[in-house]
Amino acid sequence: MQLEGKRIVLTGAAGGMGELIATELAARGARLMLADVNEERLMLLGERLAAEYPGAGHTAVAADLCAAEGRARLVQACRDQQGIDVLINAAGLSQYAMLENQSAGYIELMMSVNLVAPMLLCKELLPLLRAPAEAAIVNIGSTFGAIGHPGFVTYCASKFGLHGFTEALRRELADTSVQVFYVAPRAMQTSMNSDTVVQLNEALGNAMDKPEVVVEKLLRVLSGQSDGDFFLGWPEKLFVRLNGLLPSLVDNALGRQLATIKRLAG
């Protein structure tokens, strides 16, 4: 897919990785519909892109996509601009904590932001995505959407769900012009990770990618250089395969790290 002139909806646009994605897409001539619940940061991003790429026609929609009203506002904005070509679901939440220490409200919020909202947005934008000769949905997942990890139980549940949803939707839309992708980063150096998560990754020897690496892979997916699921990082790719074939090996590996995981989770 050539990105120049493509109408792209990007959720979570005001986040660290979302802003990078927006900047790279704008630099390639895409017309962006930027969506985020953080209105102040979203407006600043919109103003910056308008200054750097005048005449591109970017739009910012401040909306809570977990709410029907917020999704309706975004869908109507897409109709007003005569449709869309690409939907990128990049909004997400994470929390490093043992399950018994997570509040019920935050569990519900994480499941809503990471899974339910993307599902409903895909459903509500599908009529518009079916119209162009080529269109795409990209759901930003995680390695934890294929490997259950202690301390991230709710996050894993939401990303496992998003992974399954993406796979099923891809097969459901196989006879249409809409391609469906799942991009799964490993740990990243973004503000979504707390200092404690950084300490955990250092203690366990887990590599952390710069967001730019993930954005580059996303651009490869949109340009047609990858099909279906795209997992990033080594040895994380290997663990994904091992977890599918021989989960007991991953059980044992994580079991040896469990004391450290619990200690840092507090």
Query: Helix axis angle, 16-27 relative to 211-222, nearest 10°?
Result: 50
**Element housing 30 (H / E):** none
Among 53, 106, 155, 182, which one carries the catalytic annotation?
A: 155
DSSP 227-264: -SEEE-STTHHHHHHHHHH-HHHHHHHHHHHHHHHHHH
Residue type, 20: L
Cα gap 112→130, rounded to integer Å: 25
Strands in 59-62's sheet, in edge-to-edge order, are 59-62, 31-36, 7-11, 86-89, 135-140, 178-184, 229-231
Instruction: Write the CA distances from 40 to 43, 62, 110, integer angstroms.
Output: 5, 9, 22
Question: If we measure between CA atoms, which residue out of 91, 184, 78 comes closest to residue 135?
Answer: 78
Q: Is the peptide bond before 235 cis (omega within 30 degrees of 0)?
A: yes
Reading the block at residue 262, the tokens are: 């619990």
Please compute Rg for the chain using Cα positions. Answer: 18
155 in catalytic set: yes
Catalytic residue annotation: 155
